[in-house]
């Protein structure tokens, strides 16, 4: 009986359960046991591993959020003792499937170099994995964000104030920039280029003076917070409301685009497991991980 370990390393993202469904369906459960690490790589380090037991696997297609848990584990970076124990525990399994963003990709490469049979799936709403043009979960997050922005926009128009909407992305501006193009938002500030609250407030004032209202997007985790931008705009006497979408961005109903990606990624990973290959899959791309 081969044992496969699934790890969602980092934040949750829609489409993960579709991926699990298609991977599960591609194997006979008589030959394969699927296990998971409930708090990401941290649980692997602690050897806190659980067996996946889905009696009615079809229901996975209706749930956007991870049934195998998830979690970040920054402590593993630069800590040789933690890394060594994590590697040892990972080698209990025939194959490890690691899902996550750019930090998780680096971890997958490290584990592969240390003899772990592992494959990586780019799963993140941030779209921050450099080798692929689109990560699993990004399409759904974008759809949810655009819908949320437009709802806020109509309310803002009725009340005549400025609304700042904070968008996820960590260090990648894709979600904010595409949301600006696809929604009714008027302006966005990201880290590319970064603008000070004072500089940006002047641009917002011009829009407000013309329209009597404005919907503004602010990328998260920049040098300046959404509140700092709001405070600077308020100095012009403009009524300003910050809105943080937060986990709403992770919980939308999975789009067809993400469902297709989940299917394609699952088929690629299924092949890598059967061939004992360590790969990183992506949209129309497959990269072999260094051994």
Q: Average pLDDT for residues 80-106, to the nearest whole number?
A: 97
Is residue 58 located within the same domain as residue 186? no
Tell me: do 96 and 221 sit in the same domain.
Answer: no
Residues 17 and 132 in one domain: yes
Identify whether the C-beta of residue 141 lies closer than 8 Å to the C-beta of residue 128.
no
Reading across the β-sheet that carries 214-219, which strands appear in turn?
187-189, 214-219, 162-167, 240-244
Task: Mark whether 30 and 127 lie in a shared domain.
Answer: yes
- Given 12, 18, 126, 174, the catalytic residue: 126
* Encoded tokens for 167: 């968008």
The domain that holds 94 is classified in CATH as 3.40.50.450
**217 has which bridge partners?**
165, 188
Q: Are 195 and 233 members of one domain?
A: yes
Report the SS3 class of residue 43. Answer: helix
Which domain does 151 fall in, by range?
140-250
Interval 226-236 mean pLDDT: 98
Over 80: is that where the pLDDT of 242 sits?
yes
Are 185 and 282 in a shared domain? no
Helix (H, G, I), strand (E, B) or coil at 81: helix
Same domain membership, residue 128 and residue 9? yes
CATH number at residue 154: 3.40.50.460
Position 32 confidence tier, pLDDT thresholds 50, 70, 90: confident
* 126 given a catalytic annotation: yes
Residues 168 and 186 in one domain: yes
Residues 41 and 99 in one domain: yes
pLDDT in tens, 145-199: 999 999 999 999 888 999 999 999 989 999 999 999 999 999 999 999 999 999 9
pLDDT at 202 over 70: yes
Which structure tokens are listed for 49? 């591993």
Tell me if 114 sits within 8 A of 87, measured CB to CB. yes
For tokens 């049934």, name the residue. 67
Query: Is residue 280 within 8 Å of residue 120, measured between CB atoms?
Result: yes
Give pLDDT, residue 207: 97
What's the Cα-to-Cα distance from 65 to each of 2, 251, 268, 281, rounded to whole Å? Answer: 26, 6, 22, 21
- Say what the pLDDT of residue 205 is: 98
**Res 290 pLDDT > 90:** no
Q: What is the pLDDT of residue 61?
A: 82
Question: Do 6 and 70 belong together in one domain?
Answer: yes
pLDDT above 90 for 29: no
128 with 267, same domain: the answer is: yes
Q: Structural domain tally of the chain?
A: 2
Average pLDDT, the chain: 94
Query: At 56, is the pLDDT very low, low, confident or very high (cuts 50, 70, 90)?
Result: low
Do 152 and 241 share a domain, yes or no?
yes
């Amino acid at each position: 009986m081969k044992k496969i370990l699934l790890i969602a390393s980092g934040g949750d993202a829609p489409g993960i359960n579709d991926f699990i469904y298609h991977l599960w369906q591609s194997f006979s459960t008589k030959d394969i046991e699927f296990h998971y690490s409930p708090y990401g790589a941290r649980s692997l380090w602690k050897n806190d591993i659980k067996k996946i037991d889905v009696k009615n696997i079809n229901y996975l297609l209706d749930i956007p959020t991870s049934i195998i848990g998830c979690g970040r584990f920054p402590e593993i970076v630069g800590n040789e003792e933690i890394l060594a124990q994590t590697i040892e525990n990972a080698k209990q399994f025939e194959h490890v499937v690691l899902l996550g963003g750019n930090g998780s990709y680096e971890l997958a490469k490290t584990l592969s170099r240390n003899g772990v049979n592992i494959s990586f799936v780019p799963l993140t709403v941030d779209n921050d994995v450099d080798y692929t043009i689109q990560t699993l979960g990004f399409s759904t997050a974008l759809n949810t964000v655009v819908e949320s922005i437009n709802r806020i926009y109509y309310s803002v128009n009725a009340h005549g104030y400025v609304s700042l909407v904070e968008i996820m992305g960590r260090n990648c501006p894709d979600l904010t920039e595409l949301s600006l193009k696809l929604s009714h938002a008027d302006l966005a500030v990201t880290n590319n280029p970064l603008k000070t609250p004072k500089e940006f407030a002047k641009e917002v004032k011009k829009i407000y003076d013309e329209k009597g209202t404005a919907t503004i997007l602010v990328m998260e985790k920049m040098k300046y917070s959404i509140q700092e931008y709001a405070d600077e705009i308020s100095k012009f006497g403009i009524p300003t409301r910050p809105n943080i979408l937060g986990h709403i961005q992770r919980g939308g109903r999975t789009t067809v685009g993400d469902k297709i990606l989940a299917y394609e990624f699952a088929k690629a990973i299924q092949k890598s497991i059967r061939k004992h290959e360590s790969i990183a899959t992506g949209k129309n791309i497959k990269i072999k991980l260094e051994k």
